[in-house]
């Protein structure tokens, strides 16, 4: 719950923004009062749809709480899911996801790796990580070139923004947990375009 003064300011600003955009067609634009923390991390929100409702920024040090997936058996395959820290690459912020196993049997050859890039975004409701890019592909275990997914988003400028990555690995033709593994948050000099 926002403090009363902040809530009053938010409503006032919200009306002003609504008035400014009243001639726009209703679309996928994210309303300024959308509670970002309730957005599904597996749903990509276009940066353009966020632009009018707030700003990307750096997160306070105490903001991030690591979330991990549940402990659920997955047939005979014992595996790990992994994600690297978001980093600059060719004018983009890039993050990779992959899977690893020490098992000599019980695992499929390929697994589907869903990789997500999240940026810290604030609107009048508050601040949260929102998913701005994703990737899904079937890869062999191990990571490295050709064995990992890659989600990336271009930079508008070099402002310092907080990012984190997330990964969900689905064993092909086997039941497995659906939880995400998150990277720590990192600062990258890349304001999302």
Q: Which residues bind other proteins (CB under 8 A)?
A: 66, 68-69, 71-74, 77-85, 87, 89-91, 94, 96, 100, 102, 142-146, 148, 150, 169, 176-177, 179, 181-184, 186-188
CA distances from 165 to 24, 51, 53, 117, 158 (A): 33, 21, 23, 5, 19
Task: Work out how close the CB of 185 gets to other proteins at its nearest, in angstroms, rounded to a whole number.
Answer: 10
Which CB sits closer to other proteins, 12 or 78? 78
Specify the length of the chain in residues.
193
Secondary structure of 46-67 in HEC code, one letter for each residue: CHHHHHHHEEECCCCCCCCCCC
Which CB sits closer to other proteins, 60 or 144? 144
Q: Tell me the C-alpha distance between 5 and 7, whole Å.
A: 5
Task: Work out how close the CB of 186 gets to other proteins at its nearest, in angstroms, rounded to a whole number.
Answer: 5
Which CB sits closer to other proteins, 9 or 72? 72
Task: Work out how close the CB of 121 gets to other proteins at its nearest, in angstroms, rounded to a whole number.
Answer: 20
- Tokens describing residue 101: 């196993």
Task: Work out how close the CB of 177 gets to other proteins at its nearest, in angstroms, rounded to a whole number.
Answer: 6
User: Of the candidates 77, 85, 81, which has an alpha carbon nearest to the alpha carbon of residue 162?
Assistant: 85
Q: Which residue has the tokens 């509670």?
A: 35
Which CB sits closer to other proteins, 56 or 125? 56
Which CB sits closer to other proteins, 77 or 133? 77
Task: Work out how close the CB of 40 gets to other proteins at its nearest, in angstroms, rounded to a whole number.
Answer: 20
């Amino acid at each position: 719950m926002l403090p009363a003064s902040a809530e009053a300011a938010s409503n006032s600003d919200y009306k002003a923004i609504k008035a400014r955009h009243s001639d726009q067609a209703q679309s996928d634009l994210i309303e300024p009062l959308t509670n970002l923390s309730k957005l599904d991390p597996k749903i990509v929100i276009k940066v353009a749809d966020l632009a009018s409702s707030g700003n990307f920024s750096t997160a306070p040090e105490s903001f991030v709480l690591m979330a991990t997936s549940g402990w659920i058996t997955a047939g005979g395959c014992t595996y790990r899911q992994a994600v690297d820290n978001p980093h600059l690459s060719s004018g983009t912020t890039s993050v990779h996801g992959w899977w690893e196993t020490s098992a000599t049997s019980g695992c499929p050859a390929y697994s589907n790796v869903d990789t997500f890039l999240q940026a810290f975004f604030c609107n009048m409701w508050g601040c949260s990580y929102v998913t701005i890019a994703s990737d899904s592909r079937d890869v062999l275990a191990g990571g490295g070139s050709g064995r990992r997914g890659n989600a990336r988003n271009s930079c508008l400028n070099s402002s310092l923004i907080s990012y984190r990555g997330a990964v969900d690995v689905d064993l092909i033709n086997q039941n497995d947990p659906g939880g995400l593994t998150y990277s720590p948050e990192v600062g990258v000099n890349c304001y999302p375009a």
